[in-house]
Chain A
């Protein structure tokens, strides 16, 4: 089994400092955050530029080239609802360290992002969602099937669709948590890859609690077969948990210094 793939989430327009840097094309804050995440063990970096209407193509190209030229062609997840911006990003993307990830498609309005990924030999995050949150796993798996078939029709390898069960917030949807875990197991039993915004579970919790909840959940998810997650790699507890689970799963060979590498 391959190592768990962490996708660093800290380059996002939702962070005011990042948003400002994107707007002003100021490399320094972007590079600093990218470095922190890579040093902490992120494999992919998510580049969330928001909808970026009108300037998304230019911005995504700039961001892809900036990050890849500074960090040895680091693989990236291109995260925007702006399709043209994703295509523009891929047009300048160097895939020597991994295919680009299109973030994301769903089974409703954004299903065409599967086609976009297929046309560009990219990975796509396939969110098992239609209009609104799926009510149960039957519905999630129906979306999974729809997305998978769409990918296969367009010539994708099934492993290039990374299925996202949509992690739900504990404060409000505590009773749904086990369903998400069961859904991951179903993906895994089908031999499919999976990912998602895992830290959504702890939204609204005190800052010191979140790493504890996120770590517990990632361990449970990895047991169920989750292959990737979009996380904050600078959460030390979380990264230590992921590395330890990778050892238990025999994804990496243990050595005394395993937390340092």
Chain B
């Protein structure tokens, strides 16, 4: 019968099976290569995160009510800094739980700017609701660029990063030299690696997700609490913009912890932290070799950074998208492109908003 014919056909074709020797060698070779690539990315990612961490700190300056734009701001100059000059690093915090969430959005988007004179790092928060043009998706919110690139149901963090990077480069007009993506799990592990992070809040924050209450003032948060705090938006008066500020306050605390524990100067501690983030962190170091990026750290005159927010206007009609502030936005971006944020900050000292 047909069943017997099937058995016979299978048995007769067994000799087709090739020998396992070369296959085994090929498997080992390929696995070694992938393992090496994975390790390089993980280690590189945490070094980048540390660099990003340095970009966020105590004085926090919001530029939403910034002064008039310089007349030349809208001139067609590209104003890109030389390769050896200013550096821009893109850091993305993405949502989604578990090993394989079915989709991801980038809700925290930070551009770390290191000026050519290496005076100090600048942190620029880009609001996730910012209205931007996304290749293949038309006009949408900035955070959906990550979703669009990563896809579903198996989001690809690298592809999500890549599309976000293109959109941010287009928006700001600066070259993005390197970047990293941090998941909730990565955030939790980095926090645990420094034994918790002290965060100072100006007002009480209540968690929508866990009903936890974060009182006003300074408090030490463990990994899970840090993730909880940085997810909160609904009960905050300024919504996602306030959440961005809390992210800056968190990172300010993380810098303090890292400095207090000599993490940045002690190779052993640094290595421990390097591996803490593990798979929760991936990195793009194609543009700028990692060694050069890490080499920038000692060049900085101070690690105390300046926090800034991209100026945005009121909501567009009934949509929930935020447009770039039509006057202040281009002026701010011109200062960024031309690497004169120090001057810009000096002109608007009243915007400094301490985070502790």
Is B one of A's binding partners? no
Q: Give the interface of B toward A (CB within 8 A).
A: none
